[in-house]
Amino acid sequence: MPLTKRLAAEFIGTFWLVLGGCGSAVLAAAFPNVGIGLLGVSFAFGLTVLTMAYAIGHISGCHLNPAVSVGLVVGGRLKSSDLLPYIVAQVLGAIVGAGVLYFIASGTENFVLGGFASNGYGEHSIGRYSLGAGLVTEIVMTFMFLMIILGATDTRAPQGLAPIAIGLGLTLIHLISIPVTQTSVNPARSTGTAVIVGGWALQQLWLFWVAPIVGAALAGVVYQWLGAPDRSRRPSVEPRPVASV
């Protein structure tokens, strides 16, 4: 598939992730008569990845996330020369998605920008979790996300089910970590909303680039070892029956 088409797919997919995932938090979760809450927002993020995996997975691989792209480079699934173009497309898609969400959300007289689903720690964490807690959370959650991705997309895994595992994995990650950092595990998603909020969100954005990339790179290394076929053992051969004479 030509690189331009793959980048366009990554742009569209990341746009959808931010509009759908962050949109559920900004629009639906905050709306008093809807109130989908943490569970609804978690499923919204999972569903954006699930739907896009089936829509564009065969085109670009459906990374939608610079950390995922880094992990796949380290894990030997993506050419290093494609990494920077993928990241640029993902970040641009996230910013445009956040811009469209802002335009929609501000279309009511009751609109208040607030945190606009931005990621944060300390006083900008829902549970007031510390920088250290946020750092560990983002590293570990991204590590596990990449382990799910690398395992589910392994050629030895059940075919056609990877999007379900990845989407549900991201849902679970949000259920765990929304109270801590509002869940990033995705530098592009964090950048999109931080650009709209500015101020503190941009000041804390570094964490949501560093931690996910560290976690993803670690997963790439670990899965290369864990998922490598065992060549030290000969494949077992069933004895052939002796032909009767």
Other CB atoms closer than 10 Å to residue 180's CB: what's the count?
A: 22
User: Which residue, among 132, 128, 139, has the nearest Cα to 212 in the 3D structure?
Assistant: 139
Answer whether residue 173 is part of any domain: yes
Given a contact cutoff of 8 angstroms between Cβ atoms, the answer to whether 64 and 190 are in contact is: no
The verdict on residue 232 lying in a domain is no
The answer to whether position 231 is within a domain reads no
In a domain, 7, yes or no: yes
Report if residue 207 sits inside a domain: yes
**Within-domain flag for 36:** yes
CATH of the domain at 86: 1.20.1080.10
Its domain, for residue 24, covers 3-107+121-226
pTM score, two decimals?
Answer: 0.91
Whether 244 is covered by a domain: the verdict is no
DSSP codes, 54-118:
HHHHHHH----SHHHHHHHHHTTSS-GGGHHHHHHHHHHHHHHHHHHHHHHHTTSTT---TTTT-
Mean pLDDT of the chain: 92
Q: How many domains does the chain have?
A: 1
pLDDT digits (tens, 9 = 90+) for 4-26: 999 999 999 999 999 999 999 99
Amino acid letter, 206: W
Asked whether residue 166 is domain-assigned, the answer is yes
Q: Which regions of the chain are under pLDDT 70?
A: 30, 32-34, 230-245
Q: Residue type for 123, please?
A: E
